[in-house]
Amino acid sequence: MSKKKYKKIYSNASHALEDILFDGMTIMSGGFGLCGLPENLIVAIKKSGVSNLKVISNNAGTEGHGLGLLLETGQIKKAISSYVGENKLFEKQYLSGEIELEFNPQGTLAERIRAGGAGIPAFFTATGVGTLVSKNKEVKTFNNKDYIMETGLTADLSIIKAWKCDEAGNLIYRKTARNFNPVMATAGKVTVAEVEEILKAGELDPDQIHTPGIYINRIVKGKDYSRAIENLTVREK
């Protein structure tokens, strides 16, 4: 019996994104704050010059880091996010009308992505009722309580970051990186995973796998991670 060969592994981030990127596409970018960001893939998108992007992400990165790199080059046209407060450039572009923002409560954003990956077109939630979040959204009453309808989210491309994977694309995330990356892996038409370590098939404990390889189209081993800290608080001696 011949050994099964996997063709998901690419030599670098730019190669992994070949023939996928196009102007005006929707991209989901994983990570939580500055944790678990697909840094190498974001740099490759910047270098590609693709523009008018709609980006779905928990955050907008910071200046010079994460999605902040794409804001600097004006490649993002619209952001669907839940937390953008640490990026002054994003604030400036939003207030000047350069970029459109669809703001979501953090839990709602995660659930919209999960719904999209599960093929659920919409759902009702009490989060945001009576606030600007509910503007122009359908409201229904269940058990004498109002709920607003939120739609599921999908993307042309999901770029995610994992700790380890095997040749088949089975992924293990580390700590905070388990926020948003797993649900985004299921909601992209194409999902490219950036990982720190690639193992042979069978070397991962099946009970430890967070995302099955069936959701992963391409894999690239990342490098040169900055381990940035969003806010550093120190105590005087």
Nearest-angstrom CA–CA distance, 54 and 213: 26
Domain ranges of the chain: 9-121+153-221
Say whether pLDDT at 3 is over 60.
Answer: no
9-121+153-221 — its CATH code?
3.40.1080.10
Amino acid 228: pLDDT: 66
Nearest-angstrom CA–CA distance, 202 and 222: 21
Asked if 54 and 25 count as a contact pair (C-beta separation under 8 A), the reply is: yes
Which pTM was predicted?
0.91
Amino acid 117: pLDDT: 97
Both structure tokens of 77: 């046209």
Both structure tokens of 230: 């969003």
Q: What is the average pLDDT across 152-157?
A: 98
**Which residues are within 8 A (CB) of 21 and not within 5 positions of it... i.e. 6 or more apart?**
45, 48, 50, 157
Amino acid 226: pLDDT: 72
- pLDDT tens readout for residues 171-196: 999 999 999 999 999 999 999 999 99
